[in-house]
Chain A
């Protein structure tokens, strides 16, 4: 046995943890990726704390891992679930728990990803009277920039003013998809506005506009729900999904 330095050990680790291919829905093909590391796993688990802040941090840390590991960089939010499921399967195995505490094979979810057509309209427009919203699906990199801005501003707001409800999390989701907002001839880049102003605008939108905006967002939500469905059960992407020590739910029975 030979004692080695940290540098030599890291080189050995890199030799073991070689690249592999994953299927990326937006590209419709497989691309090379590095496997997840324990640090990325810990970062993802530690951010899954719930609430608006936790939800944004969780998405950001998953995006960070994907952007760092996957060789192709122009990826979209609808690639997130398929890519992270494949990274998780490679690092922690095929077995995952469903919401019903049954075992599910991640290979089935990956098959869903390949079978389910990911054809999304990347841009859209909603116009009612003089109000016009230009929508677009951001890239993962852009999404992370928006999330980082949101987090910085969230830290400045009195927690009493931003109740961390499911509603707030949903509003933060909507914010990411609005590119510009215009009333008559005044156009504002949505990302230039303060987070609280953006939330206020969303909450004051006419119901018809709000509904159209929600349908634009739901196309991704529905796609994710469809691919994560295994029979009558559903695999949630949460902290437990990344923990790896899957216990046998029938063991104590």
Chain B
């Protein structure tokens, strides 16, 4: 089952697998490993060759489709719900920052990062292509291990070339989320933490409690596991209403 979403700034259609109730538990099992959680969430994106901005928006929209169309944020010590559509207004336009820079025997092509920032290597994924002599390597097509190997073995003088590009385009790599105060910097691991937290919508204890409650009404537990969180909340609401109704009727019988 696929969900199709549209990236606001380039109208690109992105296909994603549905994020189901059981996936919340799978995320819990990944504990505190940010890179594993991000890898798991990236696995929902079926459309290849997206950059980190497109992946970020796609996952926000997936959350909107499967969990909730708003997210809860802290404002002046109060929890406030912000609509995802409102957040995505910051992404309505994207400047063209694609740049080619020659450095020693290399020719580097830089653009928006290809990977979510989870460590000091993925932070450098603004480097998208390297030309060396008459050969080109497309870093977007490499596995994580290959990408790390290529980045790690570049000569040290390349680091300042990459970080200079990041510094120069810092304004374009940072997006305002809820007005001007809160910003998402795609070259900072906090942006990945934000994405991971988007899907961490139920605590482990509540997950089990929901499953336990709904198993009383559904004989096939797999049906519940394969529902979206949206559906689960609807069923729970129906369950609560039914329980309240039964309480009222029971009270009437006693009276």
| Residues on A facing B (Cβ under 8 Å) | 1-6, 8-10, 12-14, 16-17, 35-42, 46, 91-93, 242-245
Q: Which of B91-123 contact A (CB under 8 A)?
A: 105, 120
Chain A residues near B147: list those with CB within 8 A: 6
Contact flag A93-B132 (CB < 8 Å), given A10-B150, A39-B152? no
For A38, give its contact among B135, B136, B153, B164 (CB under 8 Å): B153
- The answer to whether B135 touches A42 (Cβ under 8 A) is no
- The answer to whether A9 touches B150 (Cβ under 8 A) is yes
Interface centre among A3, A9, A10, A36, by most chain B C-beta atoms within 10 angstroms, is A9
Residue of B nearest to A7 (CB): B146
- The answer to whether A9 touches B157 (Cβ under 8 A) is no
For B155, give its contact among A9, A10, A12, A91 (CB under 8 Å): A91
Q: Which of B193-211 contact A (CB under 8 A)?
A: none
- The answer to whether B152 touches A37 (Cβ under 8 A) is yes
- The answer to whether A91 touches B134 (Cβ under 8 A) is no
- The answer to whether B157 touches A92 (Cβ under 8 A) is yes
Chain A residues near B151: list those with CB within 8 A: 38-39
- The answer to whether B132 touches A9 (Cβ under 8 A) is yes
Total number of A-B contacts with CB less than 8 angstroms? 86
Q: Which 8 A-B pairs have the closest CB atoms?
A: A39-B152, A245-B160, A6-B146, A41-B156, A91-B156, A38-B154, A4-B135, A244-B160
Chain A residues near B164: list those with CB within 8 A: 245
Q: What are 5 A-to-B residue pairs whose CB atoms are below 8 Å?
A: A12-B133, A36-B156, A41-B156, A91-B156, A244-B156
- The answer to whether A41 touches B159 (Cβ under 8 A) is yes
Chain B residues near A5: list those with CB within 8 A: 137, 146
Chain A residues near B160: list those with CB within 8 A: 243-245
- The answer to whether B105 touches A38 (Cβ under 8 A) is no
Tell me, yes or no, whether B163 is within 8 Å of chain A by CB. Answer: yes
Residue of A nearest to B130 (CB): A9
- The answer to whether A4 touches B153 (Cβ under 8 A) is no
Chain B residues near A93: list those with CB within 8 A: 157
Chain B residues near A92: list those with CB within 8 A: 156-157
Query: Shortest beta-carbon distance, A140 to chain B, in Å?
Result: 20
Tell me, yes or no, whether B149 is within 8 Å of chain A by CB. Answer: yes
- The answer to whether B135 touches A2 (Cβ under 8 A) is yes
Interface size class of B (residues with CB under 8 A): 20 to 34
Tell me, yes or no, whether B217 is within 8 Å of chain A by CB. Answer: no
CA distance A46 to B134 in the complex (A): 34
For A37, give its contact among B130, B135, B146, B154 (CB under 8 Å): B154
- The answer to whether B156 touches A8 (Cβ under 8 A) is no
Query: Shortest beta-carbon distance, B104 to chain A, in Å?
Result: 9
Residue of B nearest to A13 (CB): B153
CA distance A3 to B146 in the complex (A): 15
- The answer to whether A4 touches B157 (Cβ under 8 A) is no
CA distance A35 to B155 in the complex (A): 8
Tell me, yes or no, whether B240 is within 8 Å of chain A by CB. Answer: no
- The answer to whether B134 touches A1 (Cβ under 8 A) is yes
- The answer to whether A6 touches B120 (Cβ under 8 A) is no
Contact flag A244-B157 (CB < 8 Å), given A3-B135, A9-B132? yes
Residue of B nearest to A4 (CB): B135
CA distance A92 to B164 in the complex (A): 15
Chain B residues near A17: list those with CB within 8 A: 155
For B105, give its contact among A3, A16, A40, A242 (CB under 8 Å): A16
For B153, give its contact among A10, A46, A245 (CB under 8 Å): A10
Contact flag A244-B137 (CB < 8 Å), given A13-B153, A38-B152? no
Chain B residues near A39: list those with CB within 8 A: 151-153
Chain A residues near B133: list those with CB within 8 A: 12
Tell me, yes or no, whether B158 is within 8 Å of chain A by CB. Answer: yes
Chain B residues near A242: list those with CB within 8 A: 156
CA distance A244 to B131 in the complex (A): 22
Contact flag A2-B134 (CB < 8 Å), given A42-B120, A245-B160? yes
Q: Which of B9-23 contact A (CB under 8 A)?
A: none
Q: Which of B208-224 contact A (CB under 8 A)?
A: none
Chain A residues near B159: list those with CB within 8 A: 38, 41-42, 243-244
Q: Which of B155-184 contact A (CB under 8 A)?
A: 155-160, 163-164
For B136, give its contact among A3, A13, A14 (CB under 8 Å): A3
Chain B residues near A2: list those with CB within 8 A: 134-136
